[in-house]
Every structure is written in structure tokens, then in C-alpha cells.
Structure 1
Amino acid sequence: MSKPLAERLRPQKLEEYLSQTHLIGENGSLKNQIKKGIIPSLILWGPPGVGKTTLANIIANETERPFFTLSAISSGVKDVREVIEKAKKQDGLFTTKNPILFIDEIHRFSKSQQDSLLGAVEKGWVTLIGATTENPSFEVIPALLSRCQVYILKEFSKEDLIQLLERAMTEDKVMASYEINIKESEALLKMSGGDARKLLNIFELIVTSEDAKKVTITNDMVEHKIQKNTVRYDKTGEQHYDIISAFIKSIRGSDPNAAVYWLARMIEGGEDVKFIARRMLILASEDIGNANPTALQVALNTFQSVRMIGYPEARIILSQCAIYLATSAKSNASYMALNYAQQLVKQTGDLSVPLDIRNAPTKLMKDLGYGKDYKYAHNYENNFTQAEFLPEEIKNTTLYEPGNNKREKALREYLKALWKGKYEY
């Protein structure tokens, strides 16, 4: 069977690798290590189709090391141990170059599976390279993460993807046998979602489905053909981000029916329950916030529960939480307040902390006026007194604008009464 285009075009050498210049460019941090042959255990973190697997293979080729690979989807602790034993035997054949163990989707490994890697990594039997689309801070156990360097791979730019299509038309024998005119590329790029592998799969499907050897690609043509060849949700990344986006936006838009539908799509596709719960945890703060502070606790309980329970029962808890969040009052006021504050910090720099609210742990600091005239709120009626807590240059700046919901309307009135003129909104 013929290999797919994405596999046929997979780079074998560092100079053939597309993009990621911050890592493998002239002064890239990873390129220097590859050239020296000194490779630490590392985690490659980035969205689907940006070359994580390819880069791992290139590292093995460039450093001339034995290469072992496991998929976190289909491998258990027994498989990990078997591969480590093989690697240890290979390691004996080399004096300075230990084998590379590549684990795709390492975020799907359980704690026990990750624990089984620790000894081999620590003793240097293998150099671990893990690939993940998820934040390794959340998905990789601390003991393993501390033994690895994390490298972030960026999404491909439009220029990168166009260059990839041009390479396919000139370097691949099958594609070169067609006379291809890419009249419009917007639909190709849009449907790929920045995923190079998906782009090449779509491109090959479009070209080879034509009867003629002369192919003119337009947006309408791409959309028509792809709609006829729609694939189901792929938890490895093909529709991963589109589906979770639809799920989150349905909850944000207060539509429980749509939220449960997109949740069902993810469940049927075997999506990681922790991933779904974590996104709802973020939403509970970003999109609901102080309009209903209980939402954050519900989402946190959901996250903790599904971690303990797993499929299939976890789906019930996820559904309950999704419906609760979708039907809750909404506010992004806390999220926006922080955004405004960060913009202000970037604009104004490191403004001095007012003397009266500085920490004064030593006599010298007290002599310099640190903490002088500080008004301890609890010494005043209702545990409050007028004071200025912002730097002088930005005093009276409003960052938090309460949302238009019952609870935050009450907060608005409370602040107005408390500050008498400062929080007038």
C-alpha cells in the first residue's frame, strides 16, 4: 500500500525540516545540542501537525542513536518495560550514545506508566523524547518533568504551509505527475487548521480524486470534496481543537443542548476526560467568575471526580457540570480586569510600590518610611477606611468593571457605597 503524502514528504535531515527556527535555526537552542550530539531527555510540546514526531526521528538520525518508539494510546507498563530492556541491551553496544525512546502523546500515559520511565531516564539507559499537545506542567508527573527539558513548537505560518504545498508538488513523485494549479488556497489552509499533516492529507485527496492529470484547485472545489469525505472526531488531533472550541463556546453562549451534543462527540471519540474537565474549570473562572463563584467549585469537583472515576461513569459527571455551567449567569469581568491590568503594566513598567503599603521587616526599612502611615483596615468601622493602594502615577484607575448580572450588580453598589466616589463606574 502506498504511503500517504505526509509520510512520503517527512523530512529525514535537519536542513529539510520546516519552520521552528527558534529551535533548529542557525542559533536555535536545540540545533546546537543536536550538532554536538549531546541530547538531554526532552518534551516536545505543540499543536498537532507541527513536526514533533519528525523532529524526534531527525534527532535520532543526526546523532546516530538507536530509536525506539511507543504510542501512549496503545502501550501499557509492560510495553514500556520491554522497550527499556531492549534499549539497555542496545546501550551496551555504544560507549557514549544511549538509545532514544520516543513516546507519542505522552500526556495520555497514566502516573504508573510515567513512573515506569523514571529509572531508565535517571540512570541514562535511554534518552526520553515525549511529544504532547497538552501543557506538560499538567500532564507529566513532576519527577519525570524535572528530568526533561521542555521545547515548545509553534504553529506553522501561512507562508510555511504554502511552502509545504510547493514542496509536495515538486518533490513528491505522485504529485509531480499531475499538473497542479492552486488558484485559491484559503480553503485548504482553513481546513488544515495549521496542521501540516492534515493539509497534505487534504491536498492529496483533492488531487488524486480528480480523473484528469490537470488539476485546478479552488476554494469551492476543496469545500465540496471535503464535505463529501468528512471524518469523525479524532482524539489524536484532527478535529480535537474544533470540537472543544464548539463545546466551550456553547457553554459560554448558555446553550446546554449544544454543550451536551459536543460533549457527546468528544466522549464517542474517546477524548481524555481530564482535558474536558480542565477546560470547563478554566471556563468557570473566565466566563462565569463572580457572577456565580460556585461554578468554579463545581468545575473543580468535576475535575477531581473524573480523575478518580474515569470512563464510562465520568461522562455523567461531565454532563452535569456542562449543563450547570451553560445555565449559569455569565461574566468575564475578572478575566477582563486582569487583561487591562497586564496592559497597564506593559505600558507603565515597574512603578514603585507606595511607601505606606511596603513591607517593613527590618529597622532600616522602617527608618526609611516603609509601612509608615499604613491604615490597618480592621482598626476602622466596618473594617474599611479610604486609602490609595495603586502607584501614584496610575491612582484612581478603574480596572474591574462588574458584570451585568445580579451578583455583580450588588458588588457594584457595594463598591460605590464603600469608596464614595472612587468606584462610580
Structure 2
Amino acid sequence: MMTTRKRIILSLVLLSYFITAIDGSIVITGLTRITDDLHLSHEELSWVQNAYLLSFGGFMLMGGGLGDAFGRKRIFKLSLILFGIGSLGAGMSQSAGMMIAARFMQGLGSAVLAPTSLALIMDYFDGGERVKAVAWYGSISGLGLCIGLIVGGAITSYASWRDGFLVNIPIIAVMLLLSVKSLSGKKIKKTKFDVCGTLLSVSGIFCMLYAIDGAENMMIWLIAGTLLMILFVFTEQKTHRPIMPLRLFYSTDRRNAYIVRALLIGALMGYNFFISEFMQEVFGFTPLMTGFAFLPMTITTFIGAVRVPALVEKYGNKRVLAFGLAMLAVGFCELQFLNKESCYSIGIALPMLFIGFGQGLAMSPLTSLGLSDVEHVDAGAASGLVNVAHQVGGAFGLSLMVSASNGLTDMASRCHIGMWIALCCIVAALLISFIKSVLKHYWFIRMKFW
């Protein structure tokens, strides 16, 4: 049984991830109203999303390193304050510039909050309690996205899109109060923060994300980002306290978990975007109806998440992950038959059941594998890498699907291309998760044969 203090800490961790996950989905359903109220151009509208995305992804590694260097409690409170300021600014915005700046601040707060809250699990939970905590943490992203679509649709339809941002303020106030009373403020040893690594990682990730998310000279930005990241790796090899210890990549399980997570989130991010657009354009759904249309996925995601701790204890992370990815593959295979003549129940709701259940099963094992055998001193950095894979994978997947479907005016055709790419991502993730065992099996058969 968890103590009351641990339950409060777990609630803080889950709420931290929930408000960052829900925020992105609320924006999706409110974009049309935001455009009308603030008189945004198409380019300005794209930056309402891009500013958050670039800030979140770019500062993620820095966020993990800050907690390790200056203490989790201190940085956790700082991240909540940053996110709260961004939420307040977005809700009170009167111009495009103010809105974009507020979204950038929200992204910065999220970049610090996400890895810091995940590292709290490593600090306060062990054994079976950690398995349960990670299971809930791994599934809350999918739940936050699905519930956010429903909440966002309801708020946009019956109140104001501004309330979707302002609702974060009282939640953050309660979280700050609980964090002051529940988290322990350990004495901080004076350590040299990796400033050079931080600047290189932020610049490199910014360039790469901008390259795949709207840059006119894509190759120039991509090359610049690649060179900066290579320089970042060389710098981290020589730094005494790096924000991204390269030893985190020595484990095949951790390395594969980062790659598989990026592929999975890339598929899911594009899926939510294209299916939302399809339901509104082809089926004529309102924002609220579109939000409720994701309910089958929300339910099965929750069921999968609840079952994960027992399944992991019985079968292990890798088998549960493989089964979850297989369920996702089934769902995306069914979506290949989606067209204008399809009905919601068969064309969308049925695949959602498999996708939601697979997502609920896969997220927790991926989080556990991404943090497996990590030393306490590297907890923040490892948490940062889990979230970097999540954010960058989502950005890359969505951008790839949008780019591949550009020029097509038929929504059904655009959606088909997007779902085909999503299926390829899931199949690749499934193969990578199996590659180690397949190679071992191959070498065993070869040695036995000879």
C-alpha cells in the first residue's frame, strides 16, 4: 500500500503530464475560433502550434538536466510557474504576437515539467510501486490527448477557447501548494551546469524541428541541425556533468525504447490530426462531436493502462509492448479501408478500439524500458530523453504525413496517405522491438546448423 505522501506525489506527477498533454489537444479543437478572434493569418496560425512545439522539443534535454543539477523540488515549482504564466498569457492574448509568445512560454514550462515530473517517480518509488506509477504515467499522455479533444470541443462550443487555457491556473495553484508540502528539498551540491551542451542541444533540436515543420529551406536547416547535434555529442563526451550522458545509449533496450517511442507517437500524432480533419470535413462533425467520437479510443486506452501492471508482472515489459504494437498494427490496417462511403462505427470507431488498447498497453513498457537500469544521478537526463523521443517523434510523424499529402484536395485521399505512413511507423516499431530476440534466434540456429 502506498503512503498518503506517495499518493500525493504520484498525483502531482500524473497531473503534470496530464495538463501538458491535454493542452495540445484543446488547442486543436479551438484553432478556428482563435483565428477569428485574433484575426490570424494562416502563417500566424501555424506558429500558434509551432511555437509550443519548438520550445517544448528544443528545451527538453535542458529540462532534464536542470532537475539533476539544482534539485527536483525547486525545478518542479519553477516549471509550474512558467507553464502557468504561459497559460495565463494565452488565455488573455489580444494579438498574434502575444499568443505566440505565450505558447512559447507554455512550451518552455512543459519542457522542464515533463522530465522533472517523470524523474520524481525514480526518486520516490521502487519495485512494484514504481511499476504501477510508470504504468499510469505512460498511459496518461494518450488519455490526456483523448479527453482533451472532448473537453476542448465542449469548451469551444459552449464557452470560450480562452477558458481552455485559463482552466490550467487553479490546477497549477493546487499543484504548487501540494509540491511545497509533499516534496523534499534536498541540499544541493554545487555542480557545474552543462551550459555548452544545453545551447548546442537547444539549437540543434530547434533547427531539426523547424526543418520538418515549416522551413522553406528544409535541407539547410536540417544540415545545420545535424551538424549542431554532432558537435553536441562530441561535447558531451568531454563534459564532466553532461545533460545527456552518452552512457544512456549503451543499453540496447533503452536505445530501442527511444526509437520505438518516436515511431509510435509519430503515428498517433498524425492519426489524431488526420482523423479529426476527416470526421469534420467528410462526416460534417462539429468540434464537440469530433471530441466525443474519440471516446472509444479513450475507453480502451484506459482499460489497457489499468491492465498493464498485472500484465507486466506476469509477462514482462517486452512481451506486453509487442502485443500492444500488434494491436496498433491491426487498427491501422483496418484504417486502410476508410473512405467517403464508410460509416463511423465500422470505419473509425472499430479501429479506435484496437488503437486505444494498443496505446494503453505500449506506453508504460516503453517508459519503463527507457528508464531501465538508470543510475539515480542520470534520472533527469533519462526522463528528458524519453520526452524528447515523444515530442520529436510526434513532430516528425505529423510533418511527414502532411508533406506527403500536400497537393491533394480530396480529404479521403489525404487521410489514406497519412494512415499508410502511420502503419509503416507502427510496423517499423514492431520490428525494432523484436530485432534483438530475432538476431539471437538467428545466430543460435546458425551455430546449431554448423
Tell me the TM-score normalized by structure 1: 0.26
More helix by share: 2
Higher relative contact order (CA 8 A, sep 6+): 2
Tell me the TM-score normalized by structure 2: 0.25
Instruction: Flag the structure with larger Rg.
Output: 1
More strand by share: 1
